[in-house]
């Protein structure tokens, strides 16, 4: 699978060539989400290209688990932004 260069997705207009620069009308939040999606896909590509086949399933399992935990933590952070009283269960 070929993935667009992450620079094309995340570079600012000043850094990117005019043909790949984000539109000034683009939603910055959407651009950030898409950039993160591409980086995640690229991370999996790099794992497939560089991890020995014998340990690849274990590495992918751990990587996926860790990525899910990061997303969960980010959701907790967003939830806590609107709460005045936060407790740990």
pLDDT in tens, 34-89: 999 999 999 999 999 999 999 999 999 999 999 999 999 999 899 888 888 878 77
Reported for 45-52, long-range contacts at CB under 8 A and 24+ positions apart, including other chains, are: 45/1, 45/3
Residue 5 has pLDDT above 60, yes or no: no
pLDDT tier at 17, thresholds 50, 70, 90: low
CA distances from 41 to 4, 32, 52 (A): 10, 14, 19
pTM of the model: 0.61
Query: Residue 27's pLDDT is what?
Result: 86
* Contact residues for 21 (Cβ-Cβ < 8 A; gap 6+): 11, 12, 13
Rounded Cα distance between 60 and 7, Å, is: 24
């Amino acid at each position: 699978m070929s993935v667009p260069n992450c620079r094309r997705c995340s570079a600012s207009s000043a850094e990117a060539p005019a043909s790949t620069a984000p539109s000034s009308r683009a939603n910055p939040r959407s651009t950030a989400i898409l950039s993160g999606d591409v980086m995640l896909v690229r991370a999996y590509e790099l794992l497939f290209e560089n991890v020995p086949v014998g340990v690849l399933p274990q590495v992918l399992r751990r990587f996926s688990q860790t990525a899910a935990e990061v997303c969960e933590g980010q959701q907790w952070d967003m939830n806590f932004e609107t709460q005045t009283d936060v407790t740990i269960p």
